Structure 1
């Protein structure tokens, strides 16, 4: 398959693994004193486990799973607010499938649907727009969720709704940004990180320069990576080369897809529709300054928070994690999923306590599906 099979070539993978091992030995990385490399993106976490890269790389390399799953970092209070909006009889609430089973304090959207709320899974905000056109007597709300990858499509949908005058369409905006939580992690004295694998899809939109502070201020190398096995292996080798050379730079392994300065049309749509929130709550990280986006006043007619009086503008109660759930610690790389006392016992994909077990980018789901953890738990 063009643009996939060549990045899964076994001979190339073996060559990269040998080069990684030689470089790790030269640096002095060992099982007891490993280099800690954080893959920011949940898609990278799943690729690492799907292809067994965690077991194939040199024993002196330890992957740390970062907060790069937007469904997983959403606080429980925001899920509860989704349910509050969706439970109104005039509302058709639309969402991506990943978010349907994420638990809040009041249950999940799927459970709210079972109780009678009109909640529908969509594949794009354009699907929600079409529902609004077909149902002029109903309020259609789209759950705007995700990092910079999905932010432009939501912005363009709001622009289209404004052009058409679709007053029965609105967005419950929970879009967040990648650089700010990385800054928060690097400011934590307990976090030991030697380098970062940067997110490929996010970087398609924003480019590579928003990560400059990682190298310039904190002296850590970062390599933006693709999602195929040889992409990730080459990225690890590039990080080790920087460490061996005593360098800390932003490098782009995924240059075939990621432009240096991002996508101008997407960035323009984001700037038109959104502004920064003063702060936003992240599961496991707490409030992080300027890490969330909100809809600008000029497009307030399509802002579900204003329309229904929920969210940050209306005050809210922060909900603690369920007892026994360690999602926050897993998501910030402090522990592995298997160290959570609920993993595989009180928390499974069928009956999840936390979002990391149900999201397609969650670290716990990756361990369960690919890491052999399911068999161990059962």
Structure 2
């Protein structure tokens, strides 16, 4: 039997290939969008680019020497982005802060990834869309310093009402969440307090609603704590049965806020809310880093951090809607996967000792808490 078969795979690439640029343009918007300073597209792009500069500057100051590498890219039909990555610094193992403005044709499966589920108004055929966003993941070296993720985005389906595909829609999405390897309650309370403060400026129901949404979204489902039957070979040609418990059913970290498909409020209000959330990243996170980045740690504590990084990778590649959407629409791979840490670790059936600091972290991931 010839095992070297050629398998043809039809890829769904719906965005034009990017072109490297030597300078940052004033805007990545198309000509018919450019210059309309009152438009949501224009103001959202301005916000995310300012946020990128602010966050990168704060990260470099905290690192004390590391500098971001920057790639600027564009696409012939409009759109582009700025990807910035700091690797192997004094504080950061890897820090990525990306902005993008994208025009494209969205196939139905990518529309489902963007919306989370099929909708009744979905019709066959490609759906023109516009998307802009900032996305960042910050992985420190010290296991006592937590990983941070934040993402804020604006999305439109761009089809006229009489065109095939989805009717014209818009929505905002995003969030900021904390993923420590060890729990310092003061740190977690501070982080959640800043998220609540940003939410309360707009609606007192936002924080409890979006906090629960975050806990529910960053959830590693595989296993679901049930027993399942396995067959294995005993080495003598005999297939035997056994039973194995699955051990996920846990959150990626200790939460924060998350929201998506948000369009049931005034558009101006939601633009201001996304801006406030993006501006809250530095005060929520950098004070924690300054307290924890230089603490001494052991090889055991570093190994635990690497195991939790493994969970981070697992969630991003298997469950994350943003990753799925980017891959299904032919997005820029380096930017999509910049969220992954430089190093991670997987051990078979690892269980921390009950009552240990590692166990406390896992317990909080399995049983989300109200921190404030």
- TM-score band, normalised by the shorter chain? under 0.3
**TM-score, structure 2 length as denominator?**
0.25
User: RCO greater where, 1 or 2, for CA within 8 Å and sep 6 or more?
Assistant: 1
Higher helix residue share: 1
Higher normalized strand content (fraction of residues): 2
TM-score by length of 1: 0.25
